[in-house]
Chain A
Amino acid sequence: MCADHAAPGRAAWPTGRPALAAQGAPAAALHESCLVLDDVTVAYGRRVILSHVDADIPRSQVVSIIGANGSGKSTLLKAIAGLVPLAGGAIRCFGEPIDRMRRHVAYVPQREDVDWSFPVSVRDVVMMGRYPLRGWLRRSTPDDERAVARALDDLAIADLASKQIGELSGGQQRRAFIARAIVQEPDVILLDEPMAGIDEQTHDRILALFDEWRAAGKVVLQATHTHVHGGSMIVLRRRGEPGSAEHAEHLGAEGGEHHEHHEHHGRGD
C-alpha cells in the first residue's frame, strides 16, 4: 500500500554555501511541501551540532534519518519538535512557522527520555495525545474515549490499558507511545529510534503503520539505524568523518527503489 511518489522526497544538504534546495525541481507543481527545513542550524552553547540544513519534504513520506551515534539524528528530530532552539534558519509546516503547528506534530521520544516508574496508566498516557486537539482545558469527551480505545486496540495493548506504564515490556511501551501519537491525529510524526529494543511483533506493527501513515499522506521522520524499504532518507555524519558516502551507497543498494541519494554534511562552524 505504498503510495506512488509523484514527487520523490528531497533532502539535499549542500556542501558549499547553502543553495536554495527546493528551487528548480521539475516536479515542483506536484510537490506539496509538508515540512520545510530552511538553513537550519542547531547549537548547544558554542558547540554547533547541525548547520545549514535544508530539506523540503512533501506529504506521504517515510524519511529515515541515518547516521552514526553523535551525528545529530536526535538533535534534528528535537529541533523539528521544538525541543531545542534553532541557532539559525527556520522550520515550516504547510508554510506556517512550525511553532504554530505544534498540535499537528507528534513526537515519540527515545526510551531513555521517559520516567517509566511515573504513576500513570497506559490509558492515561494515550489520552494525553488528545489534550492538544481542541484546547488544553477541555475535558475528555466520549469521542476522545473512543479514539483512545481504538488506538489501544489497533496496537494490541487494549488488555494492558489499566496497567501502570512501567509494567509493560519495552515493545508494549513503545506501542503505547505510538498510540498516543495516533490519537493526536498529526500530519507529521517524529520517532526517535522507534525500533530500538523492541520485539518482532512491535517491529512489524510499526512498519505496517509507516505504510498506513504514508498512504494517509502523513510525513514520518524516524531517527534510526535501519533504512525503511521504499522510504527516503537523510544521512548525517559528523564533520570530518570519512566513509559516510559509501555507507549511504551501501544502504541505497539494499534499501529500495524510491529513495534518492542525498548529499549529507553535518558541518560545524
Chain B
Amino acid sequence: MSTMSITGAVTDPLSNPAFVRALVDVSVVAVVAGVIGTFIVLRGTGFLGDALAHAIFPGVVVAFLIGANLLLGALVAGLSTATVMALLTANQRVRDNTAIGVIFTAAFALGVVILSRNNISSGKLEEILFGDPLSAHATDVVLTLTIGLAVLGAIAALWRLFVMAAFDPNGARAMGLPVLALDLLLLALTALTVVVAFKAVGDILVISLLITPAATARLFVDRLLPMAALASALGVAAGLAGVYLGYHTGVSAGGTIVLISTAAFFASWLFAPRHGILVAGLARRDRALLRARPEAEAEIILASPEIRAPHEA
C-alpha cells in the first residue's frame, strides 16, 4: 500500500460527518472509561461494572420499543439499578458478588423477555449488544460529551478523597471520611460511564473498555494520575483504530476496539518493562545465577556450637 493511500485511508473518512461523530464519541468514552476504570481496577470492583452494564439492557430495549433515545433509556435503567444496588448492599456488603450476580442477570433476563414479545431487527439487537459507534447521532454525541464531562468533573473535584478511600478504606473511615458515600458516588459514576460507553462498544463489551486499558496501564506506572492518563490514552488509541477498521472493512467496530485493547494488555503483560512476566522472569533467572556463583563476598564467621552446617547433621 502506498503512502498516499494510507494517508487517504486516514483522512478520507473525515469528510463523513457520521465518521467524525464516531471518532469524537469513542474518544470521549475512552477518556472517561480510562479514569473510572482506574478506580475500578484498583478497588477490584470490575464485576460490579459488568453487572451494571448488563442491568441497563432492559432500559435500552424499552427505550427502543417506545422510540426514545437509547442513551436516555440506558441512563434511567443504569441510575435506578445503581440505586437499588446501593440500597441492597448498604449493609457494608458492597462487594457481595452473589447478590449482585442474581440481581443483574435477572435484569438482563427481563430485557430478553421484553424483546421476545416484540419485533426488533437483528441489526438493531446487534447494535445494542455489541455497539456501533458509526451510527451515533448528534444527540448521542452531545449526551456523551455532557455526561462524560460531568463524570470527569466529579472525579477531578474529589480526586484525592477517592484515592484515599480506595487505598486504605479503613484508615479513611477512621479519620471520618464518608467512604460509603464515596463508594456509592463511584457506583453512580460507573453507571453513567457504562451508559455513555454502551453506544460505542455495546452492552456486553462495555466492561472491557472500563477494565482492560486501566489494567494495561497498571503494568507500566506506579502513580495514580499517570495510570489514569495512560489508561485513557490506550483506550482512545484502541477506539480510533477500531472505528477506522470498522469503517474500512465493515467488521464490528465495538468488537475490534475490545480486541485491540486486549491484545495491548497481553503484549504488556508479557513485555512491560518492570511488571511484565518476561522481565520479572529474567530478574528471577539473574538471581538464580547469582546464587549459583561460588565465590561470595560474605560468609558466616561465627556461630554458636549448636548451629551446624546442614551436611554435618
Chain A residues within 8 Å of B, Cβ to Cβ = 78, 81-83, 102-103, 105-109, 113-115, 118-121, 124-125, 128-129, 131-132, 136-137, 164, 177, 180, 184, 190
Contacts and interface: CB of A to CB of B under 8 A. Distances in A.
Interface residues of B, number: 24
A62 to B, nearest CB: 19
B223 A102 contact: no
A106 B166 contact: no
B167 A105 contact: no
A109 B170 CA distance: 7
Contacts of A120: 163, 167, 223-224
Interface in B173-227: 173-177, 218, 221-224, 227
A132 B176 contact: yes
Nearest to B175: A132
Interface of B: 42, 157-158, 160-161, 163-164, 166-168, 170-177, 218, 221-224, 227
Contacts of A129: 175
B175 A164 contact: no
17 contacts: A78-B170, A82-B174, A102-B175, A103-B176, A109-B168, A109-B170, A113-B170, A119-B42, A119-B221, A119-B222, A128-B160, A128-B168, A128-B171, A131-B177, A136-B177, A180-B171, A184-B175
B180 to A, nearest CB: 12
B174 A115 contact: no
A131 B174 contact: no
Contacts of B161: 131, 136
B163 A132 contact: no
A119 B227 contact: yes
B118 to A, nearest CB: 45
A105 to B, nearest CB: 6
B153 to A, nearest CB: 14
Given A103-B176, A121-B223, A184-B175, A128 B42 contact: no
Given A119-B223, A119-B224, A164-B222, A83 B173 contact: yes
Contact of B175 (A78, A107, A124, A125): A107
A131 B164 contact: yes
Given A103-B176, A131-B161, A132-B175, A118 B167 contact: yes
A35 B105 CA distance: 48
A128 B173 CA distance: 12
Contacts of B160: 128, 131
A118 to B, nearest CB: 5
B141 to A, nearest CB: 32
Given A118-B42, A120-B224, A128 B164 contact: yes
Given A105-B175, A131-B164, 18 more contacts: A81-B170, A81-B174, A83-B170, A103-B175, A106-B174, A107-B175, A108-B171, A109-B171, A113-B170, A118-B42, A118-B167, A119-B223, A120-B223, A120-B224, A128-B164, A137-B157, A137-B158, A177-B171
A131 B170 contact: no
A163 B133 CA distance: 41
A124 B166 CA distance: 13
Nearest to B182: A136
B175 A131 contact: yes
A128 B166 CA distance: 12
B170 A119 contact: no
A83 B174 CA distance: 7
Nearest to A103: B176
B173 A82 contact: yes
A128 B161 CA distance: 9
What are the 3 tightest A-B residue pairs by CB atom distance, in nearest-first order?
A102-B176, A107-B174, A81-B174
A180 to B, nearest CB: 8
Contacts of A108: 171
A6 B65 CA distance: 78
Contacts of B167: 114-115, 118, 120, 125, 128
Nearest to A140: B160
Nearest to A167: B222
Contacts of A180: 171
Contacts of A109: 168, 170-171
